[in-house]
Amino acid sequence: MPEILILNGPNLNLLGEREPEIYGRTTLADIEDMCADTAAEAGLGVRCIQSNHEGGLIDAVHAARHSTIGAIINAGAYTHTSLALHDALKSYDHPIIEVHLSNPHAREAVRHHSYLSPVAAAVIAGAGAQGYVHAVEILIDHLTNAKARL
Ligand code: CA2
């Protein structure tokens, strides 16, 4: 079964435990299950990886280059700092959907720039956990209609 990469960055393992007023009460395991259910409807599997380390995220992207067909990424705070993750994603030749639980543009100025957005086919922000499900749907649409869009 073809797989999509669901990649989550630093501190997102704490979802549901801390700061529910910003990030909601849904755990990362719940989000991964929701993504798996939506992907399965399209005959796709998911590979879910969370890392608190920049290099761990980069290694996950490299490992997925030839074994996944698209990616959903919430790089957490590395979104706003990591040129290295940007470079790794540039070498990933499949559609990427960037997701944020909150809307970084409605928060501090330091969160307004994303190193990921230039390499993303779409960005979803502020839709909470449901944003990941939308991201899977959008990724499936990109994979299905890629030829028609050219
Ligand atoms: O809104 C998002 O999804 C973010 O990517 C979350 C990052 C933040 O740095 C970005 O600006 C926007 C932070 C993730 C922290 O996750 C936590 C989860 C539970 C409790 C505490 C932090």
Is pLDDT of 150 > 70? Answer: no
Q: Which residues are annotated as a binding site for substrate?
A: 74, 80, 87, 101-102, 111
Atom of ligand 1 nearest to the CA of 74: 5
Instruction: Check if 58 has its Cβ closer than 6 Å to any atom of ligand 1.
Output: no
pLDDT tens track for 120-134: 999 999 999 999 999
Residue 146 has pLDDT above 80, yes or no: no
- Structure tokens that stand for 46 in this block: 């998911």
Judge if the beta carbon of residue 131 lies within 6 A of ligand 1.
no
Q: Ligand 1 centre from 133 Cα, in Å?
A: 17
Tell me the pLDDT band of 148, cut-offs 50, 70 and 90.
low
In degrees to the nearest 10, what's the CA dihedral of 63, 64, 66, 71? -160
Which residues, 6 or more positions from 79, have their beta carbon under 8 angstroms from its beta carbon?
Answer: 9, 98, 100, 104, 111, 114, 115, 116
Q: Which residues are catalytic?
A: 23, 100
Residues 93-102: tens digit of each pLDDT: 999 999 999 9
The pLDDT assigned to 149 comes to 55
Sketch the domain layout of the chain as residue ranges: 3-149
Q: Ligand 1 mean position to 147 CA, how many Å?
A: 34
- Tell me the whole-structure pTM to 2 decimals: 0.96
Contact 146, 121 (CB under 8 A): no
Token pair 């720039």 is at which residue? 113
Architecture of domain 3-149: 3-Layer(aba) Sandwich (3.40)
Distance CA 87, CA 117 (A): 12
* DSSP run (H or E) holding 64: helix 54-64
Q: Which pLDDT does position 10 carry in this prediction?
A: 98
Tens digits of residue pLDDT in 65-92? 999 999 999 999 999 999 999 999 999 9
Distance of CA 22 from the midpoint of ligand 1 (Å):
8
- Using most ligand atoms within 8 A of CB, pick from 7, 12, 107, 110 the residue to mutate for ligand 1: 12
